[in-house]
Structures are given as C-alpha cells and as structure tokens.
Amino acid sequence: MIALLRGEVATRRADHVVILCGGVGYRAAVSAETLRHVPQVGERVTLHAHLIARDDALSLYGFHTEQERDLFQLLLSVQAIGPKVALAILSGGTPRDLTAAIAAGEAARFQAVPGIGKRTAERIIVELREKVAVAGGVQEPDGPIAARRGEDGSPSSPRELARAGLLELGYAPLEAEQLLSGADGDSAEALIADALRLARAES
C-alpha cells in the first residue's frame, strides 16, 4: 500500500499531479484543496496517499494532510460516493470546514457539489455525523466519545468531551471555550454540533 509520496513535482494539473520519487513518477488525483498547497513544477512536496486497486487499474489519490485523506476514506464508505465525487466534496473546503458541516447537519452544503442530490447529501450526514463529531474525521478506536473517561478513570462530562472534540477539529482552547459557552445540548455530540452551528453563523 502506498501511504506517502515525497519527491519533486513533475506535473501539476487541475485534477492531478505527478510526483517524481526515486526516479519513478507517481500520478495522483487531487482535490482543489490539496492542489492549493502543491508547489510549482521542480519543487519538492509531500503528499499523503490512498491507493485503490481494481482488476483493470490502480488509482492513486494524494492529499495535503492526513485529515483530508481520512475524510476521503470516510466519504467512500457512504453509498453512491465514489472517488471522483469524494474529491469534488473535498474541493469545497478544508477538512475542518467539511467535518464541521457534517457534524452540524448541513446537508445543503453537500447538495451544491456536482453529482450529489438531496438523498446522497442527507446520507452523508446520517452516516458520518457521529464519526466526524469526535476526531475531525475518524471515530476513535475505543468507540463513541460518550464512552471516554478522564485521567482518573471516571467518565468525562459531556462538556469536557465536547471541548476535546473541538480541539481535535482544530480549534484553539480559547475558541473551543467561547463556542461551548453559547452551545446547548445534553450530549457531547449535541454540544459539538451546536457549537459548530454557532461558529458558522459568526463567520
């Protein structure tokens, strides 16, 4: 499995790049978000990668961050979402913005992506909302955040869990505290979703 590409940019196109690694050029499809961070031809770059192997082809995809790659993999788990549509979704914003939109239930954000209708947009929210509400794209291996515990082994409060979730989404500690001060909800997931709604309303 190819997980990382590090080398010289040999080709830079609107939908893909070719990275020269040890004398071999690897063609990787990329989102517009990743392409913004790819330097000009001749310069060096590092991309996280995901390889899809089929009977008739090997398709490689490159990402600026691990978070974007993780979100790409989550999107592929949704019925009717293929690699091309997943990249189109990723082209619509940063991983932080997109995971926030999923956690906040903003289906309309995804309906605006070519190839995604109302049902598919709603399916993205339903299937991924709990997963992205915790760790910026990937559900923790020990299960939902409601099951997390504090350092002394006691269950963490919903607000503490929500704060941890916002920090993992990329918010600074002060930002997380400010968002949660106006958020409402009985569970960590609900608090995160409400905090993200407030954040988008203020932006």
Whether 38 has a pLDDT exceeding 60, the answer reads yes
Whether 141 has a pLDDT exceeding 50, the answer reads no
Q: Which residues of 158-188 are buried (b: 16+ CB within 10 A; e: fewer)?
A: beebbbbbbebbbbeeeebebbbeebebeeb
List the domains of the chain with CATH numbers: 4-63 (2.40.50.140), 68-132 (1.10.150.20), 145-202 (1.10.8.10)
Whether 134 has a pLDDT exceeding 70, the answer reads no
- pLDDT tens digits, 47-96: 999 999 988 889 999 999 999 999 999 999 998 899 999 999 999 999 98
pLDDT of residue 194: 81
Q: Which residues contact 32 (CB under 8 A, 6 or more apart)?
A: 14, 90, 91
Q: At 70, is the secondary structure helix, strand, or coil?
A: helix
Residue 139's pLDDT band, with cuts at 50, 70 and 90, is very low
How many other C-beta atoms lie within 10 A of the C-beta of residue 109? 22
pLDDT of residue 201: 72
Q: What one-character DSSP code corresponds to residue 20?
A: E
Q: What are phi and psi of 132, to 5 degrees?
A: -85, -15
Bridge partners (DSSP) of residue 148 are none
pLDDT of residue 151: 46
Residue 203's pLDDT band, with cuts at 50, 70 and 90, is low
pLDDT of residue 156: 65
- pLDDT tens digits, 20-36: 998 999 999 999 999 99
Distance CA 116, CA 56 (A): 26
Residue 41's pLDDT band, with cuts at 50, 70 and 90, is very high
Residue 122: exposure state from Cβ atoms within 10 A (0-12, 13-18, ≥19): middle
Amino acid at site 41:
V
What mean pLDDT is reported for the chain? 84
pLDDT of residue 154: 46
Residue 70: C-alpha distances to residues 16, 136, 143, 163, 177 (Å): 19, 9, 17, 21, 26
Is the CB of residue 4 less than 8 Å from the CB of residue 48?
A: yes
pLDDT of residue 39: 96
Name the CA dihedral angle for 46, 128, 181, 171, rounded to a multiple of 10 degrees.
Answer: 0
Is the CB of residue 93 less than 8 Å from the CB of residue 104?
A: no
**Could you identify the residue written with the tokens 């997943």?**
86
pLDDT of residue 73: 94
CA angle 165, 169, 173 (to 5 degrees): 70
